Amino acid sequence: MYRIIEARNLAANIYQMIVEAPRVAKKCMPGQFLIVRTGPDSERIALTICDYDREKGTITIVFQTVGASTEVMSKLKTGDSFHDVVGPLGRPSELIDEPADELKKKNILFVAGGVGTAPVYPQVKWLHEQGVAADVIVGAKTKDILILEDEMKAVAGNLYVTTDDGSYGRSGMVTKVIEDLVGEGKKYDVCIAIGPMIMMKFVAKLTKELNIPTIVSMNPIMVDGTGMCGACRIIVGGEVKFACVDGPEFDGHLVDFDGAMKRSQMYKTEEGKKLLELQEGDTHHGGCGNCN
């Protein structure tokens, strides 16, 4: 079993958990993900690793409730356990292959959207440990769901926070901040954007115009996460790639976001039904005639 050392509600529907998983903690690198299950019959849920402590043998995950399985997960408390934690999965960020001297010469921009701030954090932290200061834009819909601001501030070169509704920091989408920064004369050699697919799509579109090479982290539907089922396939540069073994990070200028977004809708109906069942409990009656 994988004990939860600390469970915390970060913002409205966003939770952070520090979990004992010594094998994962020992080997994981920024950019990789893991899969958790809450119980013996539960769904496999893929989550990006937000932080790790090799000595304590713990990993940190951050997730947003989006369906029945994450809803169940959000109810777990400090001292509870996950039934399964497996990883690290996927390939680490390409940045970690570059020598620190090379990285120091580069102007690196991270763009984090919503809960995507969590997977951006370990990359910025890793660079900070190598003595590399990266600029970070964090975007959230509104102030209440902004996460990890202090943590990010401690490791980022410059941190730019923006909210869609202007309730905190700058006002507007992350793309506007990129335009503003470039307008102010900032030059970037590489951009790493992680967040909702729609955000990554528009960041990639903009950085293509601005000629900034861009890496995105894809989180498509997955089952096993080890390269066995092929559910996570996406089109990158006209070729079919498996996010779990070839990714999750890809060249943002080559990813077919529209196809990936359509595919990610595949189980929306089923997920919605499961969530209703869970929320309504014994009173659940969908009126569909197909329920048990």
Partner 1 sequence: MEVDVLKRIPVREQEPKTRATNFDEVCLGYNAEEAQCEASRCINCKNAQCIKGCPVAINIPGFIEQVKNGDFKKAYEIISQSSALPAVCGRVCPQETQCEGKCIRGIKGDPISIGKLERFVADWASENGIKPVSDAPKKGKKVAVIGSGPAGLTCAGDLARMGYDVTIFEALHEAGGVLVYGIPEFRLPKEKVVKKEIENVKSLGVKIETNVIIGKSVTIDELVSEEGYDAVFIGSGAGLPKFMGIPGETASGVFSANEYLTRSNLMKAYDPASPTPIKIGKKVAVVGGGNVAMDAARTALRLGSEVHIVYRRSEEELPARVEEVHHAKEEGVIFDLLTNPVEILTDENGWVNGIKCIRMELGEPDESGRRRPVEVAGSEFVIDVDTVIMSLGTSPNPLIASTTDGLDVNKRGCIIATEEQGATSKDGVYAGGDAVTGAATVILAMGAGKTAAQGIDEYLQGKA
- Interaction site with partner 1 (CB under 8 A): 23-24, 26-27, 37, 41-44, 68-69, 72, 83-89, 223-224, 226-231, 233-235, 240, 242, 245, 256, 259, 262-263, 265-267, 270-271, 274, 292
Q: d(Cα 81, Cα 202) in Å, to the nearest integer?
A: 38
Smaller CB separation from partner 1, 166 or 286: 286
- CB nearer partner 1, residue 145 or residue 229: 229
Residue 81 Cβ, how far from partner 1 at the closest point, in Å?
A: 13
DSSP string for residues in 142-173: SGGG---HHHHHHH-SSEEEEETTSSSBEES-
| CB of residue 230 to partner 1, shortest distance in Å | 4
Name which of 133 and 223 has its Cβ closer to partner 1.
223
**How many residues appear in the chain?**
292
Task: For the CB of residue 278, give the shortest distance to partner 1 in the complex, in Å.
Answer: 9
Which CB, 98 or 271, lies closer to partner 1?
271
Nearer to partner 1, 154 or 291 (CB): 291
Instruction: Please give the torsion angle defined by the CA atoms of residues 140, 152, 255 and 89, in that order, rounded to the nearest 10 degrees.
Output: -120
Three-class SS state of 10: strand
Pick from 196, 156, 199: nearest CA to 176? 199
**Of 144, 146, 89, 142, the residue nearest 112 (C-alpha):** 146
Least separation in angstroms between residue 238's CB and partner 1 is: 11
Q: Measured from the CB atom, is 68 or 192 closer to partner 1?
A: 68
Instruction: Say which residues have a Cβ less than 8 Å from residue 277's Cβ, sequence separation at least 6.
Output: 68, 284, 286
Pick the closer one to partner 1 by CB: 100 or 266: 266
Q: Residue 182: which of 137, 241, 125 has the closest Cα?
A: 137
Q: How far is CA 37 from CA 57, 108, 258, in A?
A: 19, 35, 29
Taking the C-alpha atoms of residue 117 and residue 111, their distance in angstroms, rounded to an integer, is 8
Q: How far is the CB of 83 from partner 1 (least distance, A)?
A: 7
Q: What is the closest distance, in whole angstroms, from the C-beta atom of residue 227 to partner 1 in the complex?
A: 5
Q: What's the Cα-to-Cα distance from 138 to each of 43, 79, 93, 190, rounded to whole Å? A: 30, 31, 19, 16
